[in-house]
Structure formats: structure tokens, C-alpha cells
Amino acid sequence: MTPLEALDETTVRYTVTIGDAYGRREPNMDSDQYQPLKRGQSYTVTAQTGDGIWLSLQGPHVGQTVWVPAAFGLTRGNRQQVPFAGPITPTGPVTAPGDINPPAAYPYLSAIGLRARDIYRYGQLVGNNPHAFMKIGDCQAVYPFFLSAFDNPQSYRLGQDYEYLQAAIRQFSGSFARNSVAAQTGFGTATELDPQWANPNMCRPGESPLVCEYRTMRPSLAIISLGTNDIWQPDGRHEKNMRQILDYLIHQGVVPILSTKADNVEGDDSFNHLMVQLAAEYQLPLWDFWQVTRSLPDYGLVDTYHLSWGPATFDDPKNMALGWPWRNLTALQALDAVWRAVR
């Protein structure tokens, strides 16, 4: 950034945050990829498409411009001041439907900003399903325990306080009880990226569980619940793998919802701290399940890392002293809040 740009409050800057990003000649997926954009590089934004999905950047050479999906980086400055190129079709502000009471603020869910909406819009452009989400995780995210009850009306009771969540259940019907290839007992970040752990009955040769689950679902959102099994990873590998997972999802237009865990198997809560850090750095939604469990007996655990089991009946006070009911409730709240913010 030049001194002049630093003083110009109207300048909007764009910084690439994922690997393998390319600038295109035109703002469409059929245009040539002709300018590699490295993570950490910053550019001045000169224009945007009317839907806000694509940004035109001033390239490294005078007179050169490239187009890039806004989802692939972070913008600093007022995007509303950036001129439109082509037909002007802005989508307008996000509002909750008038016939559904918006949920109260959740202290365990971070703010959901423009970045999440950029990723979601890009995902719709490339054909992701707005009615699908994917589960990426270990034993805390597997079928039939995690969220699966919401695909069977006989298996859950929201109660009066949480009736508003029925809209999200309808929106994502069919995803809840899916046995995700990318959510299996014993999985860690390395496993998600390793083709040898993919289900050969569902996945193509060479596909990792992460890639396979995305291809077969084409979801718009993803809940990431990993860390417990990464205590065996060498120093730094957990973070490197997490960044690779996030980069892949964002590149596909899937909004990652990061989550913390109830346990502290690593001894210093470093994996939870990393999730908080990555959510802030990438400007992604964070579901802080660790915070949820602090008020539960034994933090909702029956041993080092397994949660105490209870069904998804949220109108039973005795049941709500257990770990799994709160896990399923707050995960559903996270889905609901992110979906309302990005659509």
C-alpha cells in the first residue's frame, strides 16, 4: 500500500486468504485463469459485479485488472463505495422473515459477517445446494448421534422456547441423518485429507473423505468438529491441515462453521484456541461448544472426551443437564443463525 492509499479513506483493499486462487479476465467461471494470486497479497478494488460476487482488482502492472470471487479473500474498507460493473442487481440487506421470530443472540456463536455471505453467494453460483450441509468430524459428529434426530419428527421435541428452529429443520431436511463420509469415529484433520480413509463404496479412487463428501452432496454449509484425535499429530500439523480444509471448502463455495470441543485432551486447550484464531482470521462463523459445556455437570463429559448421552428433547430439564442434548441444540442454532444471515 502506498502512502497515498493509506490516507484515502475511500480506497477498498482486498487481501487473498486462500491458496491456489487465480484472477480471471472476466467475472465469470468460464473466463481464463491468467493471474495467480498468492495468499497474503493485497490489491485495490476497482469495481464489483452487481451481485457482489466478483471484485475487479488493480493488478501488479499498470492498466492490468483481474476479476476474483470476493469469497477468496477479505476486504478492508466500505464495499458500498465500490462502483458496479455491468448490470446492477444488488441483493439488499439480510433480514429475517416476518413470520418467524428471529432467535435471541447466542453468546456461544460469533458474529456472522460479510465474508460468510460472500462464500455462500459464490457457492450458489457454482451450483451448491442451499438445502444441504455437510458434517466434518470425529466421534462427536457421527451418525446416529450428531443432529440425526432432526430428520425424524418422532425423535426430537423442540419445546416452545426453540420452536423457531423448525424452519432450519425444514430447510436442511435430509442432511441431518446422512452418514457423512467425512465424519467418522477416529477421524482427525489428516484423515480428512487422506484418500486411504475414504469409503470405497461411495468415493472415487484418489478422493479424500473431505473431497468425496463435498462431491456427493454439494452442500452450502459445513460444520467442522475436529481436534480430539489430533493429539497424535506432530507440532504444527493440526493447524496446517485445518487451513487446508478451510481453503478447500471456501474454494468450493461452502461456508465453514468452525466449532470448539468440550474436552481438553491436549492439556492446554491449544486446539480450541486455534479454532477461535482461525475463525477470526478467516472471518468465519464460530460455534463455541466449549463455552456451552462449562455450565454442565462434569462439562457434559462421562470420561476424557465422550459426552453424556441424552435424546434431542429440549423441553425436559433433567435431560438438559447432559452433554448431547446441548450439542445437538446449539449445533442446530448455529446452522439456523448462519443460514438466516447468508441467504
CATH number at residue 299: 3.40.50.1110
H/E run at residue 281: helix 270-282
Per-residue confidence (pLDDT) for residue 234, from 0 to 100: 76
> Would residue 193 count as lying in a domain?
yes
> What pTM value is reported for the model?
0.92
Strand partners, 42: 15
Do both 193 and 316 map to the same domain?
yes
Cβ contact 289:305 at 8 Å = no
List the chain residues with pLDDT less than 70. Answer: 1-9, 60-63, 86-105
> Would residue 300 count as lying in a domain?
yes
Per-residue confidence (pLDDT) for residue 100, from 0 to 100: 35
Per-residue confidence (pLDDT) for residue 10, from 0 to 100: 76
> Would residue 96 count as lying in a domain?
no
Per-residue confidence (pLDDT) for residue 232, from 0 to 100: 83
Per-residue confidence (pLDDT) for residue 106, from 0 to 100: 81
The 10s digit of each residue's pLDDT in 130-166 is: 999 999 999 999 999 999 999 999 999 999 999 999 9
Cβ contact 241:249 at 8 Å = no
Do both 176 and 28 map to the same domain?
no
The answer for 80, left when phi > 0, alpha when psi is -120 to 50, beta otherwise, is: alpha
